[in-house]
């Protein structure tokens, strides 16, 4: 990743990277990535999020939980679909689950979920900043007792998704897609 004097360069060059391999962030690097995630905008300073990191042999248990969830929700699912669900846990060497942990009080749930989602984006920026690849993923099924137990979810917590993290198998220096900023921006002056 080329360094730049432009402070926004890091964010503007981030891309989702799905082809990932070892090595993963060291424990110290992982803490730095989590620290970046914890800079998310947070009305009320509630920190309504936490992260569960899955790597190594634990990915096999996660694969079993994904397969069990699919079998419970779709008892007649073909074996190929079950294997596809299992593979979601094994395609990257590290997964960081984004758990929304809302707090009681005056800050509405949607705002706390937005904060947790911003923290998820922070994971991708932090990983990119350290030279790792990352991509936000979701399961497409409910979070039932299988994943509930695996992730040790407390009452009221929800999974927003997870970020696959690792070393990109190939460096992608192609430019990001152009963004039509004018189509996304309205400025009101009077």
Domain residue ranges in the chain = 17-172
pTM attached to this predicted model: 0.90
184 assigned to a ligand binding site: no
pLDDT at res. 30 = 98
pLDDT at residue 29 tops 80:
yes
**Tens digits of residue pLDDT in 131-171:** 999 999 987 777 788 888 899 999 999 999 999 999 999 87
Range name among 70-74, 107-111, 141-145 with the lowest pLDDT average: 141-145
- The residue among 114, 108, 177, 46 whose CA lies nearest residue 122 is 114
Residue 43 in marked binding region: yes
Mean pLDDT rounded to a whole number for the chain: 92
Question: 59 among the known binding-site residues?
Answer: no
Q: Which helix (H) or strand (E) holds 163?
A: strand 158-168
Q: Is 4 annotated as a binding residue?
A: no
Q: How many CB atoms are closer than 10 A to CB 61?
A: 12
Predicted local confidence at residue 75, as pLDDT: 95
Q: Using alpha carbons, list the distances in angstroms from residue 78 to 82, 147, 182.
A: 7, 21, 46
Would the annotation count 158 as a binding residue?
no
Fold of 17-172: NADH Oxidase (3.40.109)
Task: For residues 155 and 172, give the distance between their C-alpha atoms in angstroms, rounded to a whole number.
Answer: 41
Asked if residue 15 belongs to a known ligand binding site, the reply is yes
Mean pLDDT confidence for 20-47: 97
Nearest Cα neighbor of 98 from 110, 113, 83 is: 113
> CA of 134: how far to CAs of 19, 68, 178, in Å?
9, 26, 20
Residue 174 structure tokens? 């192609």
136 is in an annotated binding site: yes
């Amino acid at each position: 990743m080329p360094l730049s004097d432009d402070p926004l360069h890091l964010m503007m060059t981030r891309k989702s990277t799905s082809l990932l391999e070892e090595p993963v962030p060291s424990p110290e690097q992982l803490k730095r990535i989590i620290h970046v995630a914890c800079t998310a905008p947070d009305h009320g300073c509630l920190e309504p999020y936490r992260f569960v990191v899955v790597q190594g042999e634990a990915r096999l248990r996660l694969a079993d939980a994904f397969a069990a969830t699919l079998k419970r929700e779709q008892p007649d699912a073909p074996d190929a679909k079950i294997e596809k669900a299992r593979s979601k846990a094994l395609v990257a060497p590290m997964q960081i689950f984004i758990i929304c942990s809302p707090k009681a009080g005056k800050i509405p749930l949607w705002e706390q979920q937005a904060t947790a989602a911003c923290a998820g984006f922070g994971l991708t920026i932090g990983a990119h900043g350290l030279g790792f690849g990352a991509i936000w993923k979701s399961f497409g099924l409910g979070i039932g007792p299988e994943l509930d137990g695996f992730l040790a979810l407390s009452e009221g917590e929800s999974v927003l998704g997870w970020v696959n993290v690792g070393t990109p198998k190939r460096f992608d220096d192609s430019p990001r897609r152009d963004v039509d900023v004018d189509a996304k921006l309205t400025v009101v002056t009077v």
